[in-house]
A and B are shown apart, each in its own frame.
Chain A
């Protein structure tokens, strides 16, 4: 207890002074948290302050953000040639930066990272691991992280996971994300190492193989992407598997829109009470978003600044408006290739002003992610159709066409929605149109052959990895 107090004090001082945190100290804090749970069954009463930070008061929040921004900017100005130029062009001194002044610096976009990657690398850091985005939304971005960052992110993730009772030493985690998502895979494995749980990294293998592992391997947590989860649900139902066949207690999904229909189906099929729709992005790690019981997305404000900018004006979005999420991870949480004001192009709707009534009411929140800004269809002066609207509507079709394959384009002010023929099974074209109309979507339907379904919309589950398990035995073996 005394020792843990000293460790917490060291970590807190590192955060207050903006120094790099001692990752070995953090790893020992994870051990302390595990020992605490073993002795008491739950963390102490002030755990919420440890997890969410003492930032419920808006004034303290702004003060904290200003200090963290200045610290982050000082380092970027000195170490990142890209941002050094940006500060100079905006005529901003890093020491004077605050949330207001930050808006004079243009947002960083994906193209900057793709075209000028080397300029983002900080001179005082050592590259350790490169991770590439999957490229499902365009040309992939390569992000470098240092060893410090990897250990830090794993430590922070493990500590939060243990204290929230999301990760237990008795767990076995199955990871079904692309094996090329090196950061995600590394982090999952590193968190399991710190917590003492098992980690089974399978990748995007044929769903039946993943199901075999789920049913036979004592897996309790599943980390995957929504489209692959959809394939798992379909395969499990085809095989007649149900809750009794699994030991899962939670599923974490992220990286794509997770529809309520699919989440409900996953809960029902796998017998889990929780399917988390996590917002996380390699470029802005470790700033993440968590869904609450009230259906909000709560953004982490301890490790980064989250701005919500109006899609049209680029100014702070008004309550009720659509906004793109712009994130600045603070130093010392990012070291090697940090970004400032990174425009994720992930769109959310700002919540109306007023207090929230969910369990995470102290943390700022928005609607869940509605999709990428570039995929939003404007069907009127104020009316838009978001990718979430479409995914929700398509995946709610009685044919259960999971994962949703569709393509949209605007024709004469109306949405022309292309769907595989089998998606409207049981409803017919007219019935399907009515189904969409009931969800506020006035669409022209264009049915295509099922064989062409995959070409309608690229999904992360399309990054299938081959194995020899299902291959026929060679003659003569």
Chain B
């Protein structure tokens, strides 16, 4: 494949992943309310905790043997899926679905990777798993009080992290290579011939967070701006980067692009613009009370009672 064809392939896969995940997260946000604890809302310190977690998680991935990593990822995916599916399914259906999705991922990656279409089937199943997990976690955070301010700072910080851990300490590209073909690969991807194009679940989570936090904070127009930024900077720029830069080619000649390095600054500037233009972000209470939420259709009102023909007796004096 030519570099342009590779970029086009990456654009198709990453674009599908980003739009599908972010769009589904928005669809979910507008229709489904997650349970939340009695006390607690996302704050800046939570973002710092999350960031520290994200920094150390890849190191954990790199250190764990594959069987332990599969167990860890099974628990992680099961938790995420159960959070997202709980409002939609009863307990039996929920755990059957979660078990099937995780079990299928393990089975497919162990038995179906001998052919291209086997890879494609395995990717499709994994993509579903990754999309659902990212949608659930994005909604958990935003419905839990994470603001656009938090998301944009998070994306900006991840931009620095991403470039460091892709070029100086290439843990991310190493992990992408290591995960390939293993069960529960936390990436959205597809195989075309000899080539795999992927985008990590972390990137998809940030895109989904950015879109739904912008929508929750400022409404539809902000949502459209956010989706535009995701497509341009989160997908287009990332796919086009290898055409102009050759810093991201690994020893295996794989191309690993630090997506947040391109998207983070754009998201942060967009947040600053939105804050300047629209002012204070809406709270979750204000969002839920707005017309941006799709409420279940009300049942037709019962027919009004026929007025009594006889006058009602006057209340007796106290």
The yes or no answer to A244 lying at the interface (CB within 8 A) is no
Partner of B39, one of A2, A29, A38, A41: A29
- 21 of the cross-chain contacts (CB-CB < 8 Å) are A1-B43, A3-B45, A3-B46, A3-B49, A4-B37, A4-B39, A4-B40, A4-B41, A32-B41, A33-B39, A35-B145, A36-B40, A36-B41, A39-B41, A39-B284, A39-B285, A40-B36, A40-B284, A44-B40, A45-B36, A46-B37
A120 to chain B, nearest CB (A): 35
A77 CB to closest chain B CB (Å) equals 36
Contact A39 B39, beta carbon cutoff 8 Å: no
Q: Is B93 an interface residue (CB 8 A)?
A: no
In whole Å, how far is B177's beta carbon from the nearest beta carbon of chain A? 31
Known: A1-B42, A44-B37. 13 other contacts (CB 8 A): A1-B37, A4-B37, A5-B40, A32-B40, A39-B41, A39-B284, A40-B284, A41-B283, A43-B39, A45-B35, A47-B38, A50-B38, A163-B38
What per-residue 1/0 map shows which CB atoms of A1-25 lie under 8 Å from chain B? 1111100100000000000000000
Most buried by A among B37, B40, B41, B46: B40
Q: Taking each of B36, B38, B283, which has the highest tally of chain A beta carbons within 10 Å of its own beta carbon?
A: B38
- Closest-CB distance, B300 to chain A (whole angstroms): 29
Residues of B within 8 A of A (CB): 35-43, 45-46, 49-50, 144-145, 283-285
Chain B positions within 8 Å of A40 at CB level? 36, 41, 145, 283-285
Q: Which residues of A contact B38 (CB under 8 A)?
A: 36, 43-47, 49-50, 163
CB pair B50–A8 under 8 Å, yes or no, is no
Question: What A residues does B46 contact at CB under 8 A?
Answer: 1-3
Q: How far is the CB of B76 from chain A (nearest CB, A)?
A: 15
Q: Closest 9 interchain pairs by CB? A: A4-B40, A41-B285, A47-B38, A1-B40, A44-B38, A39-B41, A44-B36, A50-B38, A39-B145
Interface size on A, residues (CB 8 A): 24
- Chain A residues with CB below 8 A from B39, complex form: 4, 8, 29, 32-33, 36, 43-44, 47, 50, 163
Chain B: which residue is nearest A35 at the CB level?
B41
Q: Nearest Cβ distance between residue B196 and chain A, in whole angstroms?
A: 34
Q: Say yes or no: A1 contacts B285, CB within 8 Å.
A: no
With CB as the reference atom, state the residue of chain B lying closest to A4: B40
Q: A52 vs B49: C-alpha distance in the bound complex, in angstroms?
A: 31
Output the residue of A1, A8, A46, A49 with the most chain B CB within 10 A: A1
Q: Which residues of A contact B (CB under 8 A)?
A: 1-5, 8, 29, 32-33, 35-36, 38-47, 49-50, 163
CA–CA, A43 and B285, complex, Å:
11
Q: Closest B-chain residue to A159, C-beta based?
A: B39
The 8 Å CB contact of B50, one of A2, A35, A43, A45, is A2
Would you give the shortest CB distance from B205 to chain A, in whole angstroms?
15
| Chain A residues within 8 Å of B37, by CB | 1, 4-5, 8, 44, 46
* Residue pair B283, A2 in contact (C-beta under 8 Å): no
Output the least CB separation between A162 and chain B (Å).
9
A193 to B41, CA, bound (A): 21
| Chain B residues within 8 Å of A50, by CB | 38-39
How far, in Å, is A283 (CB) from chain B's closest CB? 31
* Residues on the B chain within 8 Å of A49, using CB: 38
Q: Are B283 and A38 in contact (CB under 8 A)?
A: yes
Closest to B45 in A: A3
Q: Which residues of A contact B283 (CB under 8 A)?
A: 38-41
In the complex the two chains form, what is the Cα distance from A41 to B145 in whole Å? 12
A472 to chain B, nearest CB (A): 46
Give CA–CA (A50, B41) in the complex, Å.
16
A40 to B41, CA, bound (A): 9
Q: How far is the CA of A279 from the CA of B89 in the complex (A)?
A: 45
- Please, how many angstroms separate the alpha-carbon atoms of A1 and B140 in the complex? 10
A43 to B41, CA, bound (A): 10
- Nearest B residue (CB) for A29: B39
Tell me, rounded to whole Å, the shortest Cβ–Cβ distance linking B283 to chain A.
5
